[in-house]
Amino acid sequence: MSNSGMVWVVDDDKSIRWVLEKALQKAAIETRSFSNGNVLLEALKSEEPDALITDIRMPGIDGLQLLKSVQNSHPDLPVIVMTAHSDLESAVSAFHGGAFEYLPKPFDIKEVVEVVRRACEHSKQRQESIQNNHVVESTPEIIGAAPAMQEVFRAIGRLARSHITVMINGESGTGKELVAKALHRHSPRASNPFIALNMAAIPKDLMESELFGHEKGAFTGAQARRSGRFEQANHGTLFLDEIGDMPAELQTRLLRVLADGEFYPVGAHSSVKVNVRIIAATHQNLEVLVAQGRFREDLFHRLNVIRIHIPPLRDRREDIPLLMQYFLSKAAAELNTELKVLKPDAEQFLKALDWPGNVRQLENLCRWLTVMASGREIHKNELPPELLHSREESGGADENWQGVLKKNIEYQLHKGDQEIAKHTIPVVEAILIKSALDYTGGKRHEAAKLLGYGRNTLTRKIKELDIEE
C-alpha cells in the first residue's frame, strides 16, 4: 500500500472514473478503477486500499449492497458514496449504513479530493493506532513564527487545563481544526475522544441524528440504534466546524443541550446525559449572522466565551517558507521520495501569492510538487501553471513593484532601447526622493535622513533630477 493513499473507485460510468482518476492523481493520491462491484470485492480479498469511492446506481451489485458487503469484510475501510442529489433516501441509507462520507452529484472535484484525503488520513491514523496498540490522536505540529500565530499559541497555553467553550474564527484552511485539536490535547480531557463534525458537510436532514443519534426504527434506514457525536464525545471535546451553517431548529436544540447537559436522541423516549466541551469554528462573521437573524444571539453568546482568531495566510507571509519546508519534508517522508528544495525565485513568487485556500492550499501544492517536479530543485517555472497565471489574472504582479519594474525593463529591451540603466535609475531615484519629501512635508533635512543621503547629496539630486517640491 502506498503511503500517500490508495483509493479504489467503482463506477460503471467511464467518464466519471476518468475524472476522478485525474483529479486524485493530481492530488498525489493513487487510484485503481473498477467498472463493477463484484470485481472490486474479488480484488479486496488480496489487497486493501485506504478508501473506496462508489456510485450508488450501478448494474449488478449496487453501491449500497457493496457498502454492506465491505462493512462485513472490512469494517474499518472508509467508503465514500456518490449519489445524485435527488436520491435523498439512498443518501440517508448510505450514511447510516456506515459510509464514511456521502458526496452529492454533480460533485465538486475539490470536495472529492478533500473527502478522499480525509478518508485516507482516517485509515492511516487507525493503522497507526493499531500498530501502537492504543488509540492515539495524531499530533501534527502547528507551524507559525508570525506574531499573530504566536498569539494563537499563547491562547492555547493560557487555556490549557480549562474546560471552557472556545470559538475559533478564520478563513477556510487556516488551521482551525488543528488549533481545536491542540486545545483538546492540552486540556484535562486529552485522554478522552476528540470528535469533529463539519456542519457544512452534512446534509441538513441528517444533521440532527448525526449530532444526537437515533433509536432503531426512528426513520427509514435506521436499522439499529446509533449514538450521535455528542455521545461519542462524552468526557471529551466536540468540535463543531462551520457552526454558522447550523439550521435554526438545531441551534435551538444545541442551546438546550448546552444548558441542560442532556438530550433525546431522535425517536428516543429517555434522555442521554453528557459532559462535553464544545469548540466551535466558523469562517463567517457570526455577529453579522446574528444581526440578520440567521444565528441565535443567545447561542452565539454561549459559544463566544473565548475567541481565537486565526489570520489568513496572506496576512502572515513570513510563515509561508516555514510551512513549505515543513510540508515538503512531510510529503517526502510520506511518499518515500527525495526532499524537494525551493529555489529563491520560486519561494519569492509563492510568498507573494494571496493563497485563498490558505494553509491547506499550500500543503496541497507541496504534495503536488513532491510528486510532479522532475528535479530535486524547484524553480518558479516548474510551479503549476494555474498558480503562475492566477497572479497575472488577479493583477497580483501590480502589487509587486519589482514585478512591474521588471516588465517595464523587459519592454524597453524588447523595443531595442539603449542605455536603459541611464534612463531607468534616475526615474526610480526621483520617485524615491519625491515620496520622502511628500512624507516629511518638504523638509529636506528629514527626507535626506530617511533616505540615507547626505543633505548636500539630496540637494544636488533634486537639482539634477529636476524634482519639483
* Cis-peptide into 106, omega within 30 deg: yes
Radius of gyration of the chain from its Cα atoms, rounded to whole angstroms = 28
Q: Is 203 exposed, middle or buried (0-12, 13-18, 19+ CB in 10 A)?
A: middle
Residue 324 CA to residue 329 CA, distance in Å, equals: 8
241 binds ligand ATP (CB under 6 A): yes
Q: Which three cell numbers stand for residue 16?
A: 466519471
Q: Which stretch binds ligand ATP (CB under 6 A): 171-179, 215-223, 333-341, 421-429?
A: 171-179
143 binds ligand ATP (CB under 6 A): yes
Work out which of 5, 49, 78, 175 binds ligand ATP, going by CB under 6 A: 175
Work out which of 7, 81, 359, 462 binds ligand ATP, going by CB under 6 A: 359
Residue 440 CA to residue 111 CA, distance in Å, equals: 52
CB of 161 to ligand ATP, least distance (A): 23
Q: Are strands 101-105 and 341-342 parallel, antiparallel or unpaired?
A: unpaired
Work out which of 48, 62, 177, 354 binds ligand ATP, going by CB under 6 A: 177
Q: Which stretch binds ligand ATP (CB under 6 A): 262-270, 285-293, 357-365, 370-378?
A: 357-365
Residue 309 CA to residue 152 CA, distance in Å, equals: 7
Q: How many Cα atoms sit within 13 Å of 448 on the Cβ side? A: 13
**Cα 54 to chain center, whole Å?**
24
Q: Which stretch binds ligand ATP (CB under 6 A): 27-35, 136-144, 219-227, 419-427?
A: 136-144
Work out which of 41, 148, 178, 388 binds ligand ATP, going by CB under 6 A: 178
Q: Which three cell numbers stand for residue 119?
A: 478518508
Residue 175 CA to residue 158 CA, distance in Å, equals: 19
176 binds ligand ATP (CB under 6 A): yes
Q: Which has the closest alpha carbon to 315: 101, 116, 148, 128?
A: 148
Would you give the binding string for ligand ATP spanning residues 389-418, x where CB under 6 A is met? ------------------------------
C-beta nearest to ligand ATP: residue: 175
- Subset of 7-46 contacting ligand ATP (CB under 6 A): none
Q: Which stretch binds ligand ATP (CB under 6 A): 8-16, 96-104, 355-363, 433-441?
A: 355-363
144 binds ligand ATP (CB under 6 A): yes
Binding site for ligand ATP (CB under 6 A): 140, 142-144, 170, 172-178, 241, 283, 323, 359-360, 363
